Structure 1
Amino acid sequence: MKRHQIILDKLNQEKHITVLELCMTLGVSAVTIRKDLKLLEEKNLLFRTHGGASLKNPYANDRPVTEKEKLSVTQKTGIANAAATFITDNDSILIASGTTVQALAKAIDVEKRLTVVTSSLNVALELTKNKNIEILQLGGYVRHNSSSVFGDHALQILENMSCSKLFMGVDGIDLNYGLTTTNLEEARLNKKMMASANKIVVLVDSSKFGKRSFAKICELTQVDHIITDKDISKKTVRKIEEKGINITIVE
């Protein structure tokens, strides 16, 4: 059917489309579009999402950090290098968990004197190579999949702390739903880290946009800056900027 081909062509161009956009493009009702999307999903040609469709599975699954660190390596390195330029000498910063912020730990200028508070064991281990950095490792239970800590002990340490910036990775960014991760306790800790920082910087490769995972961290508008790679769609960039959020795109 010609209408189905138009839907797939548009989806290939934009990666994510809404029912409303398709109604306007094709001049048919929302009921018709939803039936089309259902049929195309049954043929494994797309994934239906809330209010639209995506080219990729919009639901992020929990995977071990050893598996995640092998994905989008070039993009993560570029994002980490860009994020490192946000850090100034004598800064006090928070670094959450995830493979992209782990790459940030490797990219930090060895000449800068810093205080770093982190929930990530891998970030802390990487930073021990730099004698100019004081490291405060949050305590608590350890998540095997992410090699990071969580729980009341970590929350209590953050209670009386204020840092200039939080660098945070996420498992999914849905422009309407917000930022998510695969673990409820990790989301809870991320919220507390956000409350302890003056500026929230999210490091995320373009594959995470249009996805949502089990545990919500925050609304998109609670973020100050997003750093991502060049494969993000222009449409997504425009919508982020319309919400008043700064975005850096790494080539």
Structure 2
Amino acid sequence: MAYATTEDGHRIYVRPTDPRAIGLIANRGRIIRGSLELWRVALGLHGWATVIDIGVNYGEMLVGVDIPEGVELIGFEPNTALHKVLHKTLEARGISIDLRSQAVADKAGTARFAVDRTWSGTSSLYDERHDGSARWQFREVEVTTLDEVLGVSGRAFCVKVDVEGFEREVVDGAAKALANTSHWALMLEIEHMDRGYLAELARTYDVFVKEKETTSLRRVPGERIAVEELLDDSTLHRQDCVVLSPSLS
């Protein structure tokens, strides 16, 4: 079975026919270093009761960090073709996870999911980007929401969201949990996020990006032009942001 070996010597098992797997092998178990660094920062902000990885893929964002003992760990990966190698990876790392094949969005139900045969990391819920080419394999998946998963327990949670353009839906589906929990953090991919929505998010919540060379966070402003100016700064990690509860910001 093919695998990537991380800088810490951990194995990430992969499907060798997936070009993303080849990238993981070549880059010692990571695709974007800054994303893993920001995830470490988010995990270190509080003593979380629940940690959720939405879009687990091969599990590199779990293998590359220290998951505290006793944490409820939930992973969502609708591309079930990855589950076998993912379980092997996490078992080897000693990580116990509740791995679910659902997608996460703004309402529960079922939806069409597009598996990218050319790069597993860009698989997502179906939208206008997905043509009828051989690149895509379509299947129906169950869909849940973070509100449904977290309930109203008030337990502190930290979530990594990598859903290829459906970040707004995930956030909308977490409105009750965000309002009823004192300590929470959401890490969202923003590389392809509409800047207008990012500004809107920053007007509603406390949103930050990380400096590349430090663990310092820079607040994202609530105006589109200001957001665009901020993200022109090459000293910042511009792939992801972290959204924090007022108690943490």
TM value normalised by structure 2: 0.42
TM value normalised by structure 1: 0.42
Q: Which has the larger radius of gyration?
A: 1
More helix by share: 1
